[in-house]
Amino acid sequence: MKRFFSVLLAFAFIFSTLATADEGMWLYNAPPKDKIKAKYGLELTQEWLDHVRLSSVRFNNGGSGSFVSADGLTFTNHHVGAGCVQQLSTEGHDYIKTGFYAKTQAEEAKCPNLELNQLVGIEDVTDKVNAGVKPEMSAADAGQAQRAAMSQVEKDCSTTTGLRCDVVIFYSGQVYNLYKYKKYTDVRLVFAPEFDIAFFGGDPDNFTYPRYDLDITFFRVYENGKPAHLDHYLQWSRTGVKDGDLIFVSGHPGNTGRLLTMAQLEFLRDVQYPAALKLFVRRIALLQNFSKESEENARIAKEDIFGLQNSQKAITGYQSGLLDKSIMDSKAADETKLRAAFKADPKNAGAADPWDEIAQAIKLQQTIYSNLTYLERMRGFSSHLAQSARALVRVAAEKPKPNQERMREFRDSNLPSFEQQLFSTEPIYKNLETALLTDSLGEMQDALGKDNPDVQKVLQGKTPADVAKDLIANTKLDDVAVRKQLYGGGQAAIDASTDPLIVAMRAIDPSARAARKQFEDKVDSVVRRDGTIVAKARFAQSGFAQPPDATFTLRLSYGAVKGFQENGKSIPFATNIGGAYEHAAEHNNQSPYNLPESWMKSKASLDLKTPLNFVSTADIIGGNSGSPTVNKKGEVVGIIFDGNIESLPWNFAFSDVQGRAVSVDSRGIQEALRKVYGATALADELLGTKAEGAKTGK
């Protein structure tokens, strides 16, 4: 298998010129060096790649970031860092509204549960993962053998290195890589602007361009109580970008479906996405009504509303790709051609059709979707406290088992991260918990039916509102000490607990586990087994012209700084600070186009021509938020914070005709830090001494 992966990489370089434009979220151990050199004349060195990789970080809450000083300064988006900003806020200090700036390191505030991951090593472990798989095994048994092997590989790695070790599945299981991360769990907030400038234009401008946002936040990572010393960090560009410049994006795209079969795409289009969009409409309305009840309610729900509205718009955009007949016809034609080639190959004579088997597995997934979604995946229990209860019930049962036999989230290598989340000191608001749980219990009752045994176990003939009120009012799981006591007491403590949320989670756990097992054995394992066969067939035809679908692991994308045409109008590649004031004036400075007071007071001192946002053809998707945008030298010229609406179908098919990635410009950040916020020390740190050993491409 190692030889196969080497051949795969060789063919990837040869055939990568077949890919559309600058398409690709490329693995760092398989970068498209030849393609970049042929088109842009730049030869990426291994030193450049290693430096940018080691300067990039993953945020465990779903975003990306980068190190930008030798003293642990870390850069991401405001909407990636907003969870910490919200958790550090109180009723009298709303840092989402007012912003936050620690003028000294002593004022930097520790986030309750952020974990940052720096990718320090990649190893091909395909042979190890597949070592226990025998030809006569069923898909379910093979899947279990692979999951057990993955857990063992991760445990061995963590034990010997002290690192976080995750086995990552590529090409549906054709390739398994071991990703080794250095973890930073002492993460402190340094700077965040006001929400009104970080998300200027609000939901109406989200996924549009032109934009005028300062969507940034700075943290600092600490080790042993002191700022971490970093050998690799990205220098800050003083000159920014110009039209046509080659740029790179180093980040963690969350999920794409470019290599999925038609059956999988149709499931997303017809089942999963419509269900998600229906949920977003319901939940946004609930939280908006909750917010109207008081100013404090509005404060604590604001970040949730933002996240739901962002997801709603993103899923709508993804869905548009699957509703685009030209995209689906093209994918269907490609699949038909690939299937014909597979059947024509004498080596496959008499073999089952992997596309048919995947389609049958997806049909089963549709039948179990409700139980899987509402019970196992907890859509019926949209409450932080309920999720803590589930975690405690599950870990008590799983931890005594051998590492290889546990559910993947409770494997030894993951327990430190699991414990950090479980024992987080983030504030919990019981009134918000009650509102969310009421709504989700009601939704579950509607979806599964009043007579469903698990619905009856939870509701016991009462209304969702009455049950939610009772569960949240009487649980003690908002106390970290109680969670630690139950965790330490193991199965005996869970069995003896009378906490109402623990009781509820115990009651539904058998059905939730049954739904999960059915999914793992009859859907996921089949899709992995047959997806591997499809991947081999694709390799035989094209040499894997595409990198694997995104998996929230570090990828390198590239493209050109470039405007686009929209409705016959040329949209320039860049906006400037002056445009933000003009945009606000066009809307009478009314929400969501109201600039913060700090910006209104600083207008006279600002250079209004300073670039603020710009677009490029770099290939991104959700999860890339916070990714550094760097130039040929590996310097920060910006930070990804959005894509336009035309970029959302990139989840399934890339096109740079109108789709663009949107970045905040490094020059606009410097101008704002110095002249709006008086954050001179922070701005100077960004322009500090170059890290020893920093390398660039030639």
When pLDDT is averaged across residues 174-190 and rounded to a whole number, the result is 98
pLDDT at 220: 98
pLDDT at 543: 72
Tell whether the model's pLDDT for residue 5 goes beyond 80. Answer: no
Instruction: State the average pLDDT for the chain.
Output: 94
pLDDT at 21: 76
When pLDDT is averaged across residues 110-117 and rounded to a whole number, the result is 97
Tell whether the model's pLDDT for residue 631 goes beyond 70. Answer: yes
When pLDDT is averaged across residues 72-95 and rounded to a whole number, the result is 96
pLDDT at 2: 38
Tell whether the model's pLDDT for residue 10 goes beyond 50. Answer: no
Where does the pLDDT of residue 542 fall: very low under 50, low under 70, confident under 90, or very high at 90 and above? confident
Nearest to 659 by CA among 39, 278, 238, 209: 209
pLDDT at 544: 64
Tell whether the model's pLDDT for residue 241 goes beyond 80. Answer: yes
When pLDDT is averaged across residues 261-271 and rounded to a whole number, the result is 98
Tell whether the model's pLDDT for residue 8 goes beyond 80. Answer: no
pLDDT tens per residue across span 360-414: 999 999 999 999 999 999 999 999 999 999 999 999 999 999 999 999 999 999 9
pLDDT tens per residue across span 557-566: 999 999 999 9
Measured CA to CA, the distance from residue 148 to residue 408 in angstroms comes to: 9
What is the residue-wise DSSP string for 169-226? EEGGGTEEEEEEEEEE-EEEEEEE--HHHHTTTHHHHTT-SS------EEEEEEETTE
Report which DSSP code applies to 231.
S
Strand partners, 240: none
pLDDT at 85: 98
Tell whether the model's pLDDT for residue 160 goes beyond 50. Answer: yes
When pLDDT is averaged across residues 494-513 and rounded to a whole number, the result is 98
Residue 598 identity: S
Measured CA to CA, the distance from residue 662 to residue 620 in angstroms comes to: 10
Where does the pLDDT of residue 541 fall: very low under 50, low under 70, confident under 90, or very high at 90 and above? confident
When pLDDT is averaged across residues 86-106 and rounded to a whole number, the result is 96
pLDDT tens per residue across span 272-317: 999 999 999 999 999 999 999 999 999 999 999 999 999 999 999 9
The CA-CA-CA angle for residues 137, 140, 145, to 5°, reads 70
Tell whether the model's pLDDT for residue 516 goes beyond 90. Answer: yes
